[in-house]
Amino acid sequence: MTELATPSSHLLPSWVRAVAEFGGSRIPGSGDFLVDGGRLEATEASGRALIDLVRPLADPATLLPEDLVRCEHWWLVDASTTEDPVVGFLALRHALTPFLLERGGHVGYAVRPSRRREGHARTGLRLALARAAGLGIERVLVTCDEDNVGSMLTIESAGGVLEDEREGKRRYWVTSHPA
Ligand SMILES: CC(C)(COP(=O)(O)OP(=O)(O)OC[C@H]1O[C@@H](n2cnc3c(N)ncnc32)[C@H](O)[C@@H]1OP(=O)(O)O)[C@@H](O)C(=O)NCCC(=O)NCCS
């Protein structure tokens, strides 16, 4: 069962194992762009630092720099286990900058390689759409690379309607809905 979990220290051992599986590559939806160099280290210290960076971004009381929009970062967890529950990452951005409107979209996500093809992205996106509905975001932009079949199917199974393709990015609009 996939759930959205608030990034927190009790999940760090599993977060470290999940991040390690990406082998130092960028992890969509993880907040890695906030870290110097954009690459997460698979260590608890790096995870702790990331928690301190992402939590204020979701807090309406935080004054944001001009180039950042309010954003919720979630860790996708498999709630049926406490052994190694972190299966991926998801970010829900509350607004679109010109860059997000063109390429990034409202939602970014990634599932750790060892836990793919189990429906975690599909459920994660559904849960994000329910949160978006709660926030009053009716039309949610979700994008993916034109050769990313897994992400394309994830978005289409959520009801995504393709608007266009811009420089290799497919741009879909999905109507948000309560859970
Ligand atoms: C894309 C990604 C998030 C999919 O995660 P996942 O948990 O494996 O996806 P799901 O199991 O929920 O599958 C969703 C749909 O995609 C299909 N799918 C997933 N991966 C696929 C693949 N590699 N090839 C073909 N179909 C695939 C599933 O069959 C399912 O289709 P359905 O809804 O018609 O049944 C994952 O591969 C990933 O993290 N990739 C790297 C990061 C990334 O690309 N993030 C998205 C950025 S836009």
| Nearest-angstrom CA–CA distance, 75 and 163 | 28
- What is the band of 175 on the pLDDT scale with cuts at 50, 70, 90? very high
pLDDT at 138: 97
Q: How confident is the model at residue 178 (pLDDT cuts 50, 70, 90)?
A: confident
Mean pLDDT, residues 118-140 taken together: 98
Query: In this predicted model, what pLDDT tens digit does every residue of 54-76 receive, in sequence order?
Result: 999 999 999 999 889 999 999 99
Q: How far is the CA of 123 from the centre of ligand 1 (A)?
A: 11
pTM of the predicted model, to two decimals? 0.97
- Strand-pair partners of 76: 4, 88
Residue 154 CB neighbour total at 10 angstroms: 23
Closest of 154, 144, 156, 149 to residue 123, by C-alpha:
154
CB 85 within 8 A of CB 78: yes
Taking CA atoms only, the protein residue closest to ligand 1 atom 12 is 119
- Ligand 1 nearest atom to the CA of residue 122, by list position: 12
Task: Please state the length of the chain.
Answer: 179
- Please work out whether the CB of residue 121 comes within 6 Å of at least one atom of ligand 1: yes
Q: pLDDT tens for residues 17-54?
A: 999 999 999 999 999 999 998 999 999 999 999 999 99
Q: What is the pLDDT of residue 19?
A: 98
pLDDT bracket for residue 127 (50, 70, 90): very high
Rounded Cα gap, residues 6 and 15, in angstroms: 12
Across residues 1-11, what is the average pLDDT?
98
User: Which residue's alpha carbon is at the smallest distance from atom 3 of ligand 1?
Assistant: 110
Is the C-beta atom of 149 inside 6 A of ligand 1? yes
Structure tokens at 106: 């409202």
One-letter-per-residue 3-state SS of the chain: CEEEECCCHHHHHHHHHHHHCCCCCCCCCCCHHHCHHHCCCCCHHHHHHHHHHHHHHHCCCCCCCCCCCCEEEEEEEECCCCCCCEEEEEEEECCCCHHHHHHHCCEEEEECHHHCCCCHHHHHHHHHHHHHHHHCCCEEEEEEECCCHHHHHHHHHCCCEEEEEECCEEEEEEECCCC
In this prediction, residue 92 carries a pLDDT of: 98
Report the b/e string of 44-60 with b at 16+ CB within 10 A.
Answer: eebbebbbeebeebbee
pLDDT-based confidence at 4, cuts 50/70/90?
A: very high
User: Is a pLDDT exceeding 90 seen at residue 179?
Assistant: no
CATH architecture of structural domain 2-175: 3-Layer(aba) Sandwich (3.40)
Q: What is the pLDDT of residues 74-125, one digit of tens each?
A: 999 999 999 999 999 999 999 999 999 999 999 999 999 999 999 999 999 9
